[in-house]
């Protein structure tokens, strides 16, 4: 299950539950339906971060083999890495790390939808900047009275625009009520209805909720349930504000008449204003008027207790959905390729796969560097890959989705080892060193370095006089030119006189270059210098 597919499944579970709950309370108040959808979308937004924080809940699903296109792509990459030079192999490896096509499509869709949303808000801001305060005494008095009746405490800017089709509210920190240029001539009853409706939007923070939902839709644009939820959220907010107007004592037929007239004189609003809460949007009028004239509908505001109960129910659905992970139940062949640091394939590499019950399977790579373990069940394993001349690779493997059964492994060049014993008599005399080269495990296409200039460490006189002995472990980096590029002591339990003597000798060593596939590479050497006194 890919990242996008997993997100789509988890969010769809929450959205479907919210939409079903809304349909189940279809005869309840629009205020409650709007709160249900708002909390559903909030839970949907929290799915992604919650899925990272909550423990995974594995759900067994049948195993699906890697698709033919995946296999063809992997085979194509393997051919590239086998047949081309180091530069081409590196480019192939970079190609593997590029974002997949589906992720690019998601990013393109999210950017397009986000651009539309931001453009709509920018147009609203530009329209508001051009608008002028409606300095009409009748409107000002009715606004203050309607604010008190609606329970709105924040400041509301009443602005007259230079258009004839915008009657809406919007704003984050400061609410703006935009009215068309012909609003000065409206009768008082219509003004009261408009103010009551728009102030209900402001009191309920409908514009902020709607914009947050639209932003979520930009992210999950590929999920049709998000589009459905956003559309119903906008409609329910209008129905809830209509219920506020009717609850204030406006007769339903009077309200419907004024709403139809507003839709006529405002004409069809431009799609550019879709980011605002438009009062008289024609596409919603028929359903809204039918609801106004239905005397059996519940028009009460949702109580805090009801909202809390619905919220708890949505959380109970969202948390398991966020933890949901798909886990395959059928075994698949575990296969892949082994490469060296240059991108070339490596034949005859021994691989061992060990499970939790200590059962182990062993295989080797073929001439093209491919390996395969037959019928490996989902779970956690330890995979080990080794070949002489290279560092043994050992790492944990978790097999869950189909792509986990296809692996690419890169082995690094192994370390050189050299052990030296430096002996000296306890009585004054000449000291000496007896180097002993540890055997280098070389395999495949590695050419081991040969020491061409050797310098023996000298036993420090101060340590001989004190009768001290010691072992100095050193890690040395042999550069591509065969010189010792760096050397350091690996232990803090070493006397500085011993360390200085050992480092002085090792830094003067010279080697032939270490060749991997005919090209010089850096290699690490571990040196152990033992200073020992003889009787």
pLDDT at 422: 72
pLDDT at 265 over 70: yes
Mean pLDDT, rounded, for 44-58? 76
Mean pLDDT, rounded, for 280-303? 81
Which residue, among 322, 274, 354, 1, has the nearest Cα to 113 in the 3D structure?
274
pLDDT of 212-230, one tens digit each? Answer: 999 999 999 999 999 999 9
The residue among 95 and 211 whose pLDDT is bigger is 211
Mean pLDDT, rounded, for 49-68? 59
CB 511 within 8 A of CB 449: yes
pLDDT at 70: 46
Give the E-state strand segments of 428-479 in sequence order: 432-437, 446-447, 451-453, 470-478
pLDDT of 60-100, one tens digit each? Answer: 555 444 444 444 444 444 444 344 333 433 443 444 444 57
pLDDT at 236: 92
pLDDT at 220: 92
pLDDT of 147-193, one tens digit each? Answer: 888 888 888 899 999 887 788 889 888 889 999 888 888 999 999 99
Which residue, among 331, 255, 309, has the nearest Cα to 64 in the 3D structure?
331
Residue with tokens 């065969």: 482
CB 37 within 8 A of CB 309: no
pLDDT above 70 coverage of the chain, percent: 81
Q: Which segment of 12-16, 144-148, 229-233, 296-300 scores lowest on mean pLDDT?
A: 296-300
pLDDT at 14 over 80: yes
Mean pLDDT, rounded, for 407-420? 75
* Greatest Cα-to-Cα distance within the chain, rounded to the nearest angstrom: 120
What does the DSSP assignment read for 157-184?
Answer: EEEE-S-SS--EEE-SSSEEEEE-TTGG
Mean pLDDT, rounded, for 383-399? 87
The residue among 436 and 225 whose pLDDT is bigger is 225
pLDDT at 19: 92
pLDDT at 115 over 90: yes
Cα–Cα distance list, 174 to 41, 170, 177 (Å): 24, 8, 10
Mean pLDDT, rounded, for 283-303? 83
Work out whether strand 350-354 and strand 446-447 pair parallel, antiparallel, or are unpaired: unpaired
pLDDT at 50: 80
Distance CA 136, CA 80 (A): 76
């Amino acid at each position: 299950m890919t990242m996008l597919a997993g997100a789509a499944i988890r969010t769809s579970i929450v959205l479907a539950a919210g939409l079903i709950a809304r349909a189940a309370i279809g005869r309840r108040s629009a205020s409650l339906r709007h709160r249900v959808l708002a909390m559903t979308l909030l839970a949907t937004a929290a799915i992604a971060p919650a899925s990272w924080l909550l423990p995974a809940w594995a759900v067994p699903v049948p195993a699906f083999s890697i698709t033919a296109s995946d296999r063809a792509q992997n085979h194509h990459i393997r051919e590239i890495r086998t047949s081309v030079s180091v530069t081409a192999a590196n480019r192939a490896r970079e190609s593997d790390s590029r974002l997949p096509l589906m992720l690019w499509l998601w990013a393109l869709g999210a950017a397009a939808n986000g651009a539309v949303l931001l453009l709509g808000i920018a147009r609203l801001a530009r329209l508001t900047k051009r608008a002028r305060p409606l300095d009409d005494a009748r409107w000002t008095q009715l606004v203050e009275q309607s604010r008190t009746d609606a329970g709105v405490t924040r400041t509301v800017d009443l602005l007259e625009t230079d258009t004839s089709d915008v009657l809406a509210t919007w704003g984050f920190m400061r609410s703006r009520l935009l009215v068309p240029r012909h609003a000065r001539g409206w009768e008082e009853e219509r003004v009261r209805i408009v103010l009551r409706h728009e102030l209900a939007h402001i009191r309920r923070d409908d514009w902020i909720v709607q914009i947050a939902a639209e932003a979520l839709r930009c992210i999950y644009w590929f999920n049709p349930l998000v589009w459905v939820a956003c559309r119903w959220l906008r409609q329910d907010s209008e129905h809830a504000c209509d219920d506020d107007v009717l609850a204030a004592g406006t007769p339903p037929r009077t309200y419907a008449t004024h709403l139809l007239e507003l839709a006529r004189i405002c004409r069809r609003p431009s799609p550019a204003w879709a980011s605002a809460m438009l009062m008289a949007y024609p596409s919603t009028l028929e359903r809204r008027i039918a609801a106004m004239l239905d005397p059996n509908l519940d028009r009460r505001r949702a109580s805090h207790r009801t909202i809390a109960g619905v919220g708890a129910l949505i959380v109970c659905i969202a948390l398991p959905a966020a933890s949901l992970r798909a886990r395959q139940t059928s075994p698949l062949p575990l296969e892949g390729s082994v490469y060296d640091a240059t991108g070339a394939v490596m034949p005859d590499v021994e691989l061992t796969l060990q499970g939790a019950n200590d059962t182990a399977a062993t295989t080797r790579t073929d001439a093209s560097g491919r390996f395969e373990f037959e019928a490996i069940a989902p779970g956690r394993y330890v995979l080990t890959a080794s070949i002489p001349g290279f560092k043994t690779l050992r790492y944990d493997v978790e097999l869950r989705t189909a792509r986990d059964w296809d692996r690419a492994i890169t082995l690094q060049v192994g370390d050189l080892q050299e052990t030296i014993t430096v002996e000296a008599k306890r009585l004054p005399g000449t000291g000496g060193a007896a180097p002993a080269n540890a055997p280098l495990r070389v395999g495949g296409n590695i050419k081991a370095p040969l020491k061409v200039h050797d310098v023996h460490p000298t036993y420090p006189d101060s340590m001989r006089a004190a009768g001290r002995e010691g072992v100095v472990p050193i890690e040395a980096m042999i550069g591509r030119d065969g010189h010792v590029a760096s050397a350091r002591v690996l232990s803090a339990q070493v006397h500085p006189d011993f360390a200085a003597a050992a480092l002085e000798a090792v830094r003067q060593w010279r080697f032939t270059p270490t060749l991997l596939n005919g090209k010089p590479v850096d290699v690490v050497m571990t040196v152990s210098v033992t200073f020992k006194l003889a009787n």
